[in-house]
């Protein structure tokens, strides 16, 4: 599929291509709809202001605006139940109802989530990306003003996130640059390492893996080219599903645990042990390509920077088999030329919330901090949930028994770092806690206008 055949003006922005690191602020505003007609009137006014995927030739805006809806939100806006029934099961159930699949137990259970999340009160999500704090304040003031004037809407929750220097997340790693290559979207130079591994090189993924109403990896090989399941047009065209998940990070506990363990590992090499947990050095360089030490400079955006396969490291001596990136995108690691993995890819757009814990501090300062994890996919169950359930929260696919992803923390309590001898990293603390989340539908622009006009059958 060529870029020209993708209707970028009908797809919301920041999905196929990120707005970019110049947008240092992202705010999420969850809204409740008390009155369907007023909610639709507000949406009608908003449709033209929603930022699309069209390239910015005339310079970037100071702030962008995007919109997504929960299942209760569709109902609150008057979308008929018979239409809502055509959306995917997991979207209709919502993230809280999927807690068992996602491993959200104990402190991460929905009963302990932040007020307004997982309760059915959050109907719409407005996402604002802004270049600086003054652009953010202007956009937020305008949004709040419009909500107040409408009278039929209420703010359920606001969450404000901010990019740290060098695009690091709270545990200290460069994050967010490894993304799937998409046919007709991704620069061909960036395909190596981002798409589907082939005998000779890599190929990009079909658009329908991420945007509804287009051929996905299955339908493109179907002789009748039947499109993947989606609501009827216009809802099922150029729309997608979004996962919004607030994950608290206990940075002090993570630092202490790694520091204590490194006393027994590789001559007290704390940085190396950190790298083994993620599969990348903190600057982003992959262990497969740089197993002994990080290169002094690593530009994750350089062509080919992400080009590596796990076949060169079958025993995990360079990158542990249970490292975070080897679990979350195993590439060719499960054999069969990557055929077991390429249907489970996600586009990630997360941002850190809360203040950074100053470098070297290993005692908690009581501040709330973590990651607002956001991803887009055409099938939440096959893509996001599969990664979380089968690869991060379970070791079976990798012959790792009960080992779970060490970064996220889990019930097993350890990570195996292959080597001669192997090193067992323990204990695995509750480094992360789910504070809440929602599954959302991100309508294409025509779909959004149809919902706003109340003409969805
Ligand atoms: C606090 C929670 C999390 C942290 C701190 C975290 C951190 C990271 C880091 C540092 C990277 C490497 C940088 C990059 O490849 O862009 C990464 C990659 C990735 N993470 Fe996470 N992550 C978290 C949660 C999750 C969750 C919940 C999922 C999915 C269910 C996930 C899926 C991925 C994927 C797919 C990659 C890309 C791997 C690749 O393409 O090689 N992460 N994460």
Residue-by-residue DSSP string for 179-224: ---BTTTS-GGG-TTTSEEETTEEEPBPGGGTSTTS--TTGGGSTT
426 versus 327: the higher-pLDDT residue is 327
Is the minimum distance from the CB of 280 to ligand 1 under 6 angstroms? yes
Is the minimum distance from the CB of 168 to ligand 1 under 6 angstroms? no
- Least confident residue range of 134-143, 198-207, 342-351, 434-443: 198-207
Looking at residue 225, what is its pLDDT? Answer: 84
Looking at residue 413, what is its pLDDT? Answer: 81
Looking at residue 165, what is its pLDDT? Answer: 83
302 versus 15: the higher-pLDDT residue is 15
- Least confident residue range of 126-140, 164-178, 186-200: 186-200
Is the minimum distance from the CB of 171 to ligand 1 under 6 angstroms? yes
Span 336-351, average pLDDT: 93
* CA 175 to centroid of ligand 1, rounded, Å: 7
Span 267-283, average pLDDT: 96
Is the minimum distance from the CB of 371 to ligand 1 under 6 angstroms? yes
Looking at residue 338, what is its pLDDT? Answer: 83
Q: What is the mean pLDDT of the chain?
A: 95
**Dihedrals phi, psi of 224, to nearest 5 degrees:** -90, 0
Span 124-138, average pLDDT: 98
Looking at residue 172, what is its pLDDT? Answer: 97
The CB density around residue 446, as the number of other CB atoms within 10 Å, is 18
Is the minimum distance from the CB of 431 to ligand 1 under 6 angstroms? no
Span 230-234, average pLDDT: 95
Confidence of residue 1 (pLDDT cuts 50, 70, 90): low
Is the pLDDT at 37 greater than 90? The verdict is yes
* CA 177 to centroid of ligand 1, rounded, Å: 10
Residues in a beta bridge with 454: none
**Dihedrals phi, psi of 443, to nearest 5 degrees:** -70, 150
Q: For tokens 């919902």, what's the residue? A: 451
> Which ligand 1 atom is nearest residue 179's CA?
40
Q: What is the pLDDT of residues 357-405, one digit of tens each?
A: 999 999 999 999 999 999 999 999 999 999 999 999 999 999 999 899 9
Share of the chain above pLDDT 70, in %: 98
Confidence of residue 22 (pLDDT cuts 50, 70, 90): very high
Residue nearest to atom 32 of ligand 1 (CA): 328
* CA 71 to centroid of ligand 1, rounded, Å: 26
* CA 328 to centroid of ligand 1, rounded, Å: 7
Looking at residue 182, what is its pLDDT? Answer: 97
Least Cα distance to 247 among 417, 126, 146, 114 occurs for 114
* CA 155 to centroid of ligand 1, rounded, Å: 30
| Cα–Cα distance, 357 to 390 (Å, whole number) | 31
* CA 324 to centroid of ligand 1, rounded, Å: 7
Is the minimum distance from the CB of 346 to ligand 1 under 6 angstroms? yes
Residue nearest to atom 7 of ligand 1 (CA): 175
Looking at residue 4, what is its pLDDT? Answer: 53
Residue nearest to atom 23 of ligand 1 (CA): 408
* CA 407 to centroid of ligand 1, rounded, Å: 9
Residue nearest to atom 12 of ligand 1 (CA): 175
Looking at residue 452, what is its pLDDT? Answer: 98
> Which ligand 1 atom is nearest residue 375's CA?
29
Is the minimum distance from the CB of 349 to ligand 1 under 6 angstroms? no
Q: What one-character DSSP code corresponds to residue 376?
A: E
| Cα–Cα distance, 260 to 44 (Å, whole number) | 56
> Which ligand 1 atom is nearest residue 245's CA?
27
Residue nearest to atom 13 of ligand 1 (CA): 175
Confidence of residue 252 (pLDDT cuts 50, 70, 90): very high
Q: What is the pLDDT of residues 286-333, one digit of tens each?
A: 999 999 999 999 998 888 889 999 999 999 999 999 999 999 999 999
Q: Which of 325, 390, 409 to mutate to test the pocket of ligand 1 (most atoms within 8 A of CB)?
A: 325
Is the pLDDT at 3 greater than 70? The verdict is no
| Cα–Cα distance, 270 to 255 (Å, whole number) | 9
Q: How many CA atoms, within 13 angstroms, populate the side-chain half-sphere of residue 235?
A: 24
Is the minimum distance from the CB of 407 to ligand 1 under 6 angstroms? yes
Is the minimum distance from the CB of 244 to ligand 1 under 6 angstroms? no
Full-prediction pTM beyond 0.85?
A: yes
Span 267-291, average pLDDT: 96
Establish whether the linkage from the previous residue to 427 is cis, with ω within 30° of 0.
Answer: yes
Looking at residue 264, what is its pLDDT? Answer: 92
Span 208-226, average pLDDT: 94
Is the pLDDT at 247 greater than 90? The verdict is yes
| Cα–Cα distance, 103 to 395 (Å, whole number) | 14
């Amino acid at each position: 599929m060529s870029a020209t055949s993708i209707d970028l003006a009908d797809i919301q922005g920041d999905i196929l291509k990120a707005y970019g690191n110049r947008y240092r602020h992202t705010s999420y505003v969850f809204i409740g709809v008390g009155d369907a007609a007023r909610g639709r009137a507000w949406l009608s006014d908003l449709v033209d202001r929603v930022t699309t995927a069209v390239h910015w030739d005339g310079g970037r805006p100071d702030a962008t605006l995007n919109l997504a809806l929960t299942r209760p939100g569709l109902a609150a806006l008057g979308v008929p139940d018979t239409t809502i029934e055509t959306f995917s099961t997991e979207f209709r159930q919502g993230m809280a109802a999927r807690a068992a699949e996602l491993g959200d137990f104990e402190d991460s259970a929905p009963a302990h989530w932040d007020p307004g999340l997982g309760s059915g009160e959050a109907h719409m999500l407005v996402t604002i990306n802004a270049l600086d704090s003054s652009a953010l304040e202007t956009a937020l003031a305008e949004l709040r003003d419009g909500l107040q004037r409408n009278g039929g809407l209420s703010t359920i929750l606001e969450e404000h996130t901010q990019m740290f220097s060098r695009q690091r997340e709270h545990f200290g790693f460069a994050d967010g640059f490894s993304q799937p290559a998409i046919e007709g979207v991704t620069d061909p130079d960036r395909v190596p390492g981002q798409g589907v591994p082939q005998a000779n090189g890599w190929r990009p993924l079909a658009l329908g893996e991420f945007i509804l109403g287009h051929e996905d990896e299955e339908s493109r090989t179907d002789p009748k080219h039947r499109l993947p399941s989606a609501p009827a047009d216009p809802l099922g065209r150029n729309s997608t599903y979004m996962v919004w998940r607030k994950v608290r990070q206990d940075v002090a506990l993570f630092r202490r645990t790694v520091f204590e363990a490194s006393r027994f590992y590789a001559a007290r090499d704390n940085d190396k042990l950190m790298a083994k947990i993620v599969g990348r050095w903190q600057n982003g360089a992959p262990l497969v390509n740089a197993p002994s030490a990080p290169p002094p400079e690593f530009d994750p955006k350089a062509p080919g920077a992400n080009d590596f396969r796990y076949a060169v490291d079958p025993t995990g001596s360079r990158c542990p088999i249970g490292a975070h990136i080897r679990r979350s995108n195993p590439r060719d690691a499960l054999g069969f030329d990557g055929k077991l993995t390429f249907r489970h890819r996600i586009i990630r757009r997360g941002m850190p919330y809360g203040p950074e814990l100053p470098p070297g501090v290993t005692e908690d300062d009581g501040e709330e901090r973590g990651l607002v994890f956001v991803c887009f996919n055409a099938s939440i169950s096959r893509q996001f949930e599969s990664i979380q359930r089968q690869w991060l929260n379970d070791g079976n696919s990798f012959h790792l028994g009960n080992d779970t992803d060490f970064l996220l923390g889990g019930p097993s309590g350890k990570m195996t770092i292959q080597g001669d001898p192997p090193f067992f990293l323990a204990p695995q603390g509750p480094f992360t806690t789910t504070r809440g989340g929602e599954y959302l539908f991100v309508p294409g622009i025509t779909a959004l206008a149809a919902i706003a006009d109340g003409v969805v059958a």
